[in-house]
């Protein structure tokens, strides 16, 4: 596989949806600065970035899965699994418990992936079913811990900071850069794009399509579980519906980032913009005197606007390059 | 795959012709439903009493209605995540508007069904003229519709006019109205699927480009299908509020994924173009009877999630391998 280095207009075409998604973020940022500058000062900024980090982590694996042409609807339940299982592993040293949970999350993701590639179950159905299994497990066997205490280490991770930034945000930053780099600079990244663009072509060019697919689901499961651990630490409690907002949130972040739901197009850099857009919206609505209901309406409308902006960017760029 | 050899041999060994094999696979949901009902009835004979059947259908009706509507969106090659929002919106509207509606509660019911049709129609327009993938378009409108539900009614409450509740929980000719509704639903589908419109519905879902070449105008067909999906979802919300006598502005979300599960278990293809509401009713009934069996066994309701999920994966995988066998 040779790596083309895109130039000039090609760069513009390739990155137009990402540029469009940052444009949307910038508009909201300007609104935020205009209406409520205090939202983005000092402690508030860090809180908002922390919220963004949860969405960003849940959306990290989702980005890979969608790029490879799938979708992961089990994210909210795997996230809840991470949060609740942390309480069940209370006897273990914190670090071991967290690593174990991330590994288990990855294994749940692997079940998703294997179902999709080996059993021929469509991603929507497979991840609904696995989400249902995890939900059943949590409600059936995790019962004593529905509102469980959270181990010390998770609290420590959440409350500590590096320099001016919370540790969670730094962790997200590191993982974000790593993901961005893996996707654009490595063979694995190229394979994910290739599988999402056209899996037959990918197979014919010697890519192991099934294992590439499974890998994306493994990452999604692991990241969702990790986000669950951190969220439990942040909230100081864990409950089965803890992950609910992240089904919509993780997918919306990816789509607002300019990725195509059919796979093959998008990037984690775009997802970061999508994540920030969603976080800004969430922060802005109460300032504007809007409630939960209006927030949902605004989310929906912004997604539609974002989709058409990404599409418009793409059209514009392809017209210029003609 | 070597581990599948026994399964392959078993499937090959079953009926003689390909056609018979396909028929057996298609009949599997029916066989499963009959078996489950038999087990359920054997464990707890009281549940087969018509009054009990009516009561259980009454509580399962929202899922059945949403799943039937969802089937139409899936038949044209789409999917509708926004049904959850429409159910919530319709429930919230009934509980807040019906008592004071000019023209009376029944006019309100008609208007709410109209809201559902319009909401579904908007999905259809986004998918066709708006050129958005159905999954994304309805993800966005799900958020919008469920948000509107919360704007109309911020939390559970409101009142439902007594006559509407009476119709939903009442009886006609000795049988619960929920049973009659199911009979009407299946009957209407059996009539509908012979109509030219149904033919174009299947044609568009099977292969849109080919359908267009044959002169089917695919956009109106798709918009109509999505609109009907919204109408069904609104009906589910009305039923939910009528039977619980309150407005539930968050209740719809819990129906989205089970509605897809019911469709898939029934045998309608997520790829579009094959299946139908009859199959979906069977799939939804399987889910409802499963919940009952789990309850009779003394297991917690959450156990039903686990069984449902396994069933879902099992059915799809079985069909996948059967198809691969045919291709060999």
* Cα distance between residue B209 and residue B146, in whole Å: 34
> What does the pLDDT look like over A237-287, one tens digit per residue?
788 888 888 988 899 999 988 888 888 888 899 999 999 999 998 888 888
Polymer length of chain A = 322
B81 touches chain A (CB under 8 A): no
pLDDT digits (tens, 9 = 90+) for A92-116: 777 888 899 999 999 999 999 999 9
In this model, does residue A52 exceed pLDDT 90? yes
**Torsion angles phi and psi, residue B49, rounded to 5:** -65, 135
Residue B16's pLDDT is 56
What pLDDT does B1 receive?
46
Residue A255: which of B136, B151, B324 has the nearest Cβ?
Answer: B136
- B314 reaches A (C-beta below 8 A): no
d(CA A314, CA A305): 14
Put simply, the answer to whether A301 touches B317 (Cβ < 8 Å) is: no
The strand pair at A165-166 and A161-162 is best described as antiparallel
Cβ of residue B269 closer than 8 Å to a chain A Cβ = no
Q: Which residue has the higher pLDDT, A258 or A3?
A: A258
pLDDT digits (tens, 9 = 90+) for A286-320: 888 888 889 889 889 988 988 888 777 667 666 65
Q: Whose CA is closest to A13, among A196, A197, A258, A189?
A: A258
Structure tokens at B111: 């208007």
Place of tokens 């508030």: A44
Within 10 Å of residue A291's Cβ, how many Cβ atoms? 13
Burial of residue B219 (CB within 10 Å: 0-12, 13-18, 19+) is middle
Structure tokens at B51: 């009054």
pLDDT at A200 over 80: yes
Question: What residues have CB less than 8 Å from B228, skipping those under 6 apart?
Answer: B69, B72, B117, B120
Asked whether residue A128 carries a pLDDT value surpassing 60, the answer given is yes
**What is the distance between the alpha carbons of residues B142 and B148, in angstroms, rounded to a whole number?**
10
Q: Of B148, B264, B324, which is closest to A125 when you measure between CB atoms?
A: B264
Nearest to A134 by CA among A88, A80, A170: A80
Taking 70 as the threshold, does the pLDDT of residue A12 lie above it? no
| Residue B180 clears pLDDT 80, i.e. is over it | yes
Question: Would the CB atoms of A122 and B149 count as touching at under 8 Å?
Answer: no
CB pairs under 8 A between A and B: 136
Q: State the distance between the two ends of chain A, measured CA to CA, in whole angstroms.
A: 27
% of chain A residues with pLDDT over 90 = 40
Task: Count the alpha carbons within 13 Å of A54 in the hemisphere toward its beta carbon.
Answer: 29
Averaged pLDDT, A41-61: 89
Selected residue with higher pLDDT from B44 and B147: B147
| Inter-chain CB proximity A304 and B316 less than 8 Å | no
Interacting residues of A169 by C-beta distance below 8 A, sequence separation 6+:
A46, A49, A50, A52, A53
Of A164 and A315, the structure prediction assigns the larger pLDDT to A164
Measured distance CA(A155)–CA(A232) in Å, rounded: 8
Query: Averaged over A186-210, what is the pLDDT?
Result: 90
Q: How confident is the model at residue A57 (pLDDT cuts 50, 70, 90)?
A: very high
Residue A43 has pLDDT above 90, yes or no: no
Give the per-residue pLDDT at B111: 96
Q: CA–CA separation, A98 vs B206, rounded Å? A: 47
Q: With a cut of 80, say whether residue B17 has pLDDT above it.
A: no
The DSSP bridge partners found for residue A162 are A165
Full DSSP string of B7-60 = HHHHHHHSSSSHHHHHHHHHHHHHHHHHHHHHHHHHH-GGGGSHHHHHHHHHHH
A158 pLDDT more than 70: yes
Q: What percent of chain B has pLDDT over 70?
A: 94
8-state DSSP, A144 = G
Return the SS3 of A290.
Answer: coil
Look at the block and give the residue holding tokens 């008609």.
Answer: B110
CA-atom Rg of chain A in angstroms: 19
- Look at B305 and B74; give whichever has higher pLDDT: B74
In the predicted structure, residue A5 carries a pLDDT above the cut 60: no
**pLDDT at res. B134:** 92
Cα–Cα distance measured from residue A148 to residue B197, given in angstroms and rounded to the nearest whole number: 55
Alpha-carbon distances of B18 from A95, A214, B207, B328, rounded to whole Å = 56, 33, 24, 12
Cβ separation of B257 and A125 shorter than 8 Å?
no
Q: Tokens standing for A27?
A: 């508009």
What mean pLDDT do residues A189-196 have? 92
Asked if pLDDT for residue B264 goes beyond 70, the answer is: yes
Does residue B273 or residue A215 have the better pLDDT? Answer: A215
The predicted structure's pLDDT at residue A150: 65
Our measurement of the distance from residue B146's CA atom to the centroid of its chain's CA atoms, rounded to an integer in Å, reads 19
Give B313's contacts in chain A (Cβ within 8 Å).
Answer: 115, 119, 121, 125-126, 129
- Distance between CA atoms of residues A75 and A68, nearest Å: 16
Closest chain B CA to residue A74: B257
Burial class (CB in 10 A: 0-12, 13-18, 19+), A196: buried
pLDDT of residue B209: 83
Higher pLDDT, A201 or A15: A201
Q: Is the pTM for the entire model greater than 0.90?
A: no
pLDDT at A321: 53
CB contact under 8 A, B313 and A126: yes
Give CA–CA dist B253/A242, Å, rounded: 15
pLDDT at residue A322, as a whole number: 47
CA–CA separation, B226 and B221 (whole Å): 9
Contact A142, B314 (CB under 8 A): no
Per-residue model confidence (pLDDT) at position B253 = 87
In which region does residue B215 sit, left (phi positive, over 0), alpha (psi from -120 to 50) or beta (all else)? left
- Work out the average pLDDT over B211-232: 92
Q: Which pair of structure tokens corresponds to residue B42?
A: 């054997």
Structure tokens belonging to residue B289? 């009877």
User: Is the pLDDT reported for residue B167 higher than 50?
Assistant: yes
- The predicted structure's pLDDT at residue A1: 45
Torsion sign across C-alpha atoms A15, A16, A21, A26: positive
Mean per-residue pLDDT for B135-161?
A: 92
CB–CB of B270 and A129 under 8 A? no
Here the ipTM equals 0.85
| Angle CA B222–B223–B225, to nearest 5 | 65
Minimum-distance CB partner of B316 among A125, A292, A307: A125
Tell me whether residues A293 and B148 touch, CB distance under 8 A: yes
**pLDDT, position A239:** 82
Q: Which residue of A has its CA nearest to B315?
A: A121
Query: What is the pLDDT confidence band of residue A7, given thresholds at 50, 70 and 90?
Result: low
Give the closest residue to A83 by CA, choosing from A136, A37, A142, A29: A142
Model pLDDT, residue A194: 92
Residue of A17, A73, A127, A132 for testing the chain B interface, max B β-carbons within 10 Å: A132
How many angstroms separate the CA of residue A134 from the nearest CA in chain B? 8
């Amino acid at each position: 596989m040779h790596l083309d280095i895109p130039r000039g207009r090609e760069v513009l075409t390739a990155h137009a949806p990402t540029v469009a998604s940052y444009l949307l973020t910038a508009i909201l940022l300007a609104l935020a600065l205009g209406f409520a500058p205090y939202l983005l000062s000092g402690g508030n900024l860090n809180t908002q970035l922390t919220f963004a980090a949860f969405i960003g982590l849940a959306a990290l694996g989702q980005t890979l899965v969608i790029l490879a042409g799938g979708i992961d609807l089990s994210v909210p339940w795997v996230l809840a699994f991470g949060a609740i299982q942390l309480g069940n592993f209370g006897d273990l040293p914190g670090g071991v418990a967290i690593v174990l949970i991330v590994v288990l999350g990855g294994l749940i993701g692997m079940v998703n992936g294997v179902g999709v590639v080996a059993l021929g179950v469509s991603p929507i159905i497979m991840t609904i079913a696995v989400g249902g299994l995890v939900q059943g497990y949590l409600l059936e066997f995790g019962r004593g811990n529905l509102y469980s205490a959270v181990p010390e280490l998770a609290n420590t991770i959440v409350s500590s900071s590096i320099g001016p930034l919370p540790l969670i945000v730094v962790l997200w930053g590191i993982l974000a850069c790593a993901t961005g780099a893996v996707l654009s600079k490595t063979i694995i990244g190229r394979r994910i794009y290739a599988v999402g663009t056209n899996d037959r072509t990918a197979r014919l060019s010697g890519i192991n399509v099934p294992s590439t697919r499974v890998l994306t689901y493994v990452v999604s499961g692991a990241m969702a579980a990790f986000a669950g651990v951190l969220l439990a630490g942040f909230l100081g409690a864990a409950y089965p519906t803890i992950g609910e907002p992240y089904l919509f949130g993780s997918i919306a972040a990816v789509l607002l980032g300019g990725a195509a739901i059919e796979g093959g197009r998008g990037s984690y850099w775009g997802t970061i913009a999508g994540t920030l857009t969603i976080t800004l919206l969430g922060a802005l609505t109460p300032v504007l005197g809007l409630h939960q209901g209006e927030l949902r309406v605004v989310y929906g409308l912004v997604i539609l606007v974002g989709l058409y902006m990404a599409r418009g960017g793409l059209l514009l760029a392809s017209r210029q390059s003609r | 795959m070597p581990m599948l050899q026994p399964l392959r041999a078993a499937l090959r060994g079953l009926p003689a012709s390909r056609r018979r094999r396909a028929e057996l696979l298609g009949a599997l949901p029916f066989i499963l439903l009959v078996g489950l009902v038999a087990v359920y009835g054997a464990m707890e004979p009281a549940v087969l009493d018509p009054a009990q059947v009516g009561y259980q259908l009454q509580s399962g009706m929202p899922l059945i209605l949403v799943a039937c509507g969802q089937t139409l969106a899936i038949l044209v090659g789409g999917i509708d995540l926004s049904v959850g929002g429409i159910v919530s919106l319709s429930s919230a509207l009934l509980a807040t508007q019906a008592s004071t509606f000019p023209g009376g509660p029944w006019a309100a019911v008609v208007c709410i069904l109209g809201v559902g049709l319009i909401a579904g129609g908007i999905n259809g327009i986004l998918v066709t003229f708006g050129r958005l993938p159905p999954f994304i378009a309805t993800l966005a409108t799900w958020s919008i519709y469920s948000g509107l539900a919360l704007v109309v009614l911020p939390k559970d409450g409101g009142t439902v006019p007594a006559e509407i509740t009476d119709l939903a929980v009442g009886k006609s000719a000795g049988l619960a109205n929920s049973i009659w509704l199911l009979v009407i639903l299946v009957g209407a589908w059996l009539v509908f699927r012979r109509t030219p419109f149904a033919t174009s519905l299947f044609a568009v879902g099977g292969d849109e480009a080919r359908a267009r070449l044959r002169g089917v105008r695919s956009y109106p067909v798709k918009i109509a299908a999505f609109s009907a999906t919204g109408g069904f979802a609104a009906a589910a919300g009305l039923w939910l509020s009528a039977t619980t006598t309150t407005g539930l502005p968050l209740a719809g979300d819990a129906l989205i994924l089970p509605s897809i599960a019911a469709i898939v278990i029934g045998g309608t293809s997520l790829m579009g173009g094959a299946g139908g509401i009859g199959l979906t009713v069977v799939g939804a009934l399987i889910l409802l009877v499963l919940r009952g069996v789990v309850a009779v066994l003394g297991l917690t309701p959450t156990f039903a999630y686990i069984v449902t999920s396994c069933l879902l994966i099992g059915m799809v995988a079985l069909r996948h391998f059967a198809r691969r066998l045919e291709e060999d």
